[in-house]
Amino acid sequence: MKRFVFTFAMPKKAFMKKILIISILIMNTAFAQTITGIDSSKKLENIIIKAYEQNRSLIDVAAPVSVTGQAQLNRFGNMSILPALNITPGVSMEERSPGSYRLNIRGSSLRSPFGVRDVKIYLNDIPLTDPTGNTYLNQLSFYNFNSIEIIKGPASSLYGAGIGGAMLIHTLPANWSDGVSLDYSTGSFNTNSINANVKTGDADHENSFTYSHQTSDGYRLQAKMHRDIATWESLLKVNDKQTLHAYMSYSDLYYQTPGGLTLAQYNANPKQARPGAGSQPGAVANKAAIYQKTFLAGFSNDYQFNEHWQNTTSLYGSYTDFINPNIRVYEYRKEPHFGGRSVFEYKKQFDKTNFQLDFGTEAQKGFFNTRDYGNNLGVADSMQTDDNLNNWQYMFFAQADFELPHGWTITAGASLNKSSIEDVNLAAKPATTQRRVFKNKLPPHIAVLKQLSKNISVYGSIAGGFSTPTVSEVLRSDGLFGTNLQPESGTDYELGIKGTASQNKLFFDISGFFFDLKNTIVQRIDANNVYYYVNAGSTKQKGIETYASYEIIDAPKHFINSAKIFASYAFHDFHYGSFKQVNNDFSKNQLPGASPNTVVAGFDVTSKTDIYLNVTYNYTDKIALNDANTAYAPSYNLLGARLGYKKDFKKKISAEIFAGADNLFDTKYSLGNDINAFGGRYYNAAAGRNFYAGISFNFNK
């Protein structure tokens, strides 16, 4: 599950030609670039994070929070955030084919046949997750991410619906400098990526314009992709009290969907697309693909009233045009939605106690239209369904923090949530209307942290979470409206310890958890390839997640001036509690889609000659593919490496050239498996041994 890029399989001559072109460019250009954003040398534990509105160092937050910064993002090929996120224990980002992502946090992909669900995602202060609970994470390019914070487990007390957790994406670098940068990467399967960025202004008047273009032929048949993304971002410091932030983006994405294979098909030819069966054409004949265009505009305002009070308010509007010819139907979706979030913060010191109160509201409204047609070899045929879907959700939240003497911190919060879905069936004559209103939920969050020393802390927390069915889950893919599907709800119990030792050379983060989930929503796919969802009783999810890094060498004057190792390990014992479906009893079975054991380890070294090497190893245990536990994806081992050269020619001009390889063992494995797929079509083959290379230039004024 930890791959580095969508990379390519081109003839050796073609690849060497591209490498030669890159080498000539770097020797003859007058401009250059280094890695931008958070200083890659900044230690992870010292980064101030925003999660739970606490603005503290990672060690001082009483929650399972991870941070992915520039150091992690830039140790792989610069085409996808996937491998960087997968360093985090408990997090698995998958790619079924180039451009088709799925995000799994502690088993949350059980509800995600594709895409990102059950995880609430914010872009700066803007909700990126739409009112239905779906997130188009593929509308962002690699270069739109400066840093990423992930809260593992329920975060509903502050971030609303989502059992898996929350992701906070930050786009602007901490240190501003205006200038121009250009990045180019190439890789196997004729993968190419170009990114151009222009920054103007100063620290008080920041403007950033970015354009990214990416293409790939894919590593399977019917897996081509191309994506264009343009963004404008502005940060204006009006005065010492007020800051305005604006973000606009337009993404145009096309990617083909090869479909899942049976075990026999996967063993015969893992690169093939799903073949036809009987009278049903396959993925190639039906031209299965996604056409996705998204426009997003968001604005936020930070205002400091006085030394005690401040407010952050954000508003956004988004529109997605989604077309999906697939195996069974030809689907059109239009998805306009808007919303906002406002957070008030109050700070006060009482004797030796620091008190902080955060409270506010968030609301989202969507007006979606979904039409399904027959798919006649890639052409829309007769209309089957036509539905207007109006969804509305809002929440009120509050959280109090007490920093007490002797290193104690207590956090307590909760939110009040309500949502509804209305379906107007326009295909019926006369039109019919059905409505689902989901009752108020009040998920709590209580956490206690104790500093054992200046550099080590322990914490415990209890967090409630819930997740309402999304529109695509309530509205089956055959157009029927599910009236019985209920929200999930659960409670997470967490214990953790994190800190530094050995003169800050060693950083460690260890947590154990038990999560009890009720009314678990799981996917089914019937004989007609109809996707639908059912409540699966309960699940019991226990786990241990560990991360450690050690700085072996920190000697700027030596030839090897820096060397570091890291390792992450996740043990997940995820099982159904009570789960009976018709005549089948799946109680106590392993939860499909989650690896019981996952290991990621790496070694990074840099030299005085500006050459660096990053090596990454991944082991993923076998994964159950269905509720009955009669089919498994085998375990696999992956090895990848990146070798590069960075040079500051002058204070304002710098450059980097790099090359790397992924899956050096040439392991055959399946990634982004289709869970509980009818007919055993579980398998989506991942890329074998592949290569990439790139060059970056930067000129700062």
Cα dihedral sign, 153-457-172-607? negative
Q: Which DSSP symbol is given to 655?
A: E
Per-residue pLDDT at 3? 36
Closest to 391 measured CA to CA, from 420, 424, 427, 352: 420
- pLDDT tens profile 527-568: 666 667 777 778 899 999 999 999 999 999 899 999 999 999
pLDDT category at 476 given cuts 50, 70, 90 is: low
DSSP-assigned beta bridge partners for residue 119 = 165
Distance from C-alpha of 123 to C-alpha of 146, rounded to nearest angstrom: 11
Percent of the chain residues past pLDDT 70, beyond the cut: 90
Predicted confidence at residue 45, as pLDDT, reads 56
* pLDDT score at 13: 41
Q: Confidence class of residue 477 from pLDDT cuts 50, 70 and 90?
A: low
Model confidence pLDDT, tens digit, residues 76-102 = 998 999 999 999 999 999 988 888 888
Contact 162, 155 (CB under 8 A): yes
Taking the alpha carbons of 133, 137, 140, 143 in that order, is the dihedral positive or negative? positive
For 77-91, 138-152, 168-182, which range has the lowest pLDDT when averaged over its residues?
168-182
Asked if the peptide bond before residue 430 counts as cis, ω within 30 degrees of 0, the response is yes
Confidence band (pLDDT; 50, 70, 90) for 227? very high
- Answer yes or no: is pLDDT of 572 > 50: yes
Answer whether residue 385 shows pLDDT above 60: yes
- Cα separation of 498 and 402, whole Å? 20
CATH class of 12-700: mainly beta
Q: Kindly report, residue by residue over 576-602, the tens digit of the pLDDT.
A: 988 877 678 899 999 999 999 999 999
Residue 451 CB partners (closer than 8 Å, separation 6+):
60, 407, 408, 457
Beta bridge partners of 457: 451, 498
Spatial distance between the Cα atoms of 342 and 331, rounded to a whole number of angstroms: 35
pLDDT at 584: 84
454 membership: H or E segment, kind and range: none
Of 47-56, 230-239, 268-277, which range is least confident? 47-56
Query: Whole-model pTM?
Result: 0.89
Q: Which range (60-74, 301-315, 632-646) has the least confidence? A: 60-74
pLDDT the model gives residue 579: 81
Neighbours of 469 (CB within 10 A): 25
The label of the residue with tokens 């697309």 reads 273
- Domain limits, the chain: 12-700
In this prediction, residue 441 has a pLDDT band, given cuts at 50, 70 and 90, of confident
Virtual torsion, Cα 374, 376, 380, 385, nearest 10 deg: 0
* Euclidean distance between CA atoms 60 and 451, whole angstroms: 8
pLDDT at 20 over 70: no
Quote the distance between the C-alpha of residue 369 and its chain's center. 26
Q: Is the pLDDT of residue 691 over 50?
A: yes
pLDDT at 482: 62
Q: Which of 134-143, 174-183, 284-293 has the lowest mean pLDDT?
A: 174-183
User: Which pLDDT does position 484 carry in this prediction?
Assistant: 73
Amino acid making up residue 104: N
652: amino acid identity, one letter? K
pLDDT at residue 172 in the model: 86
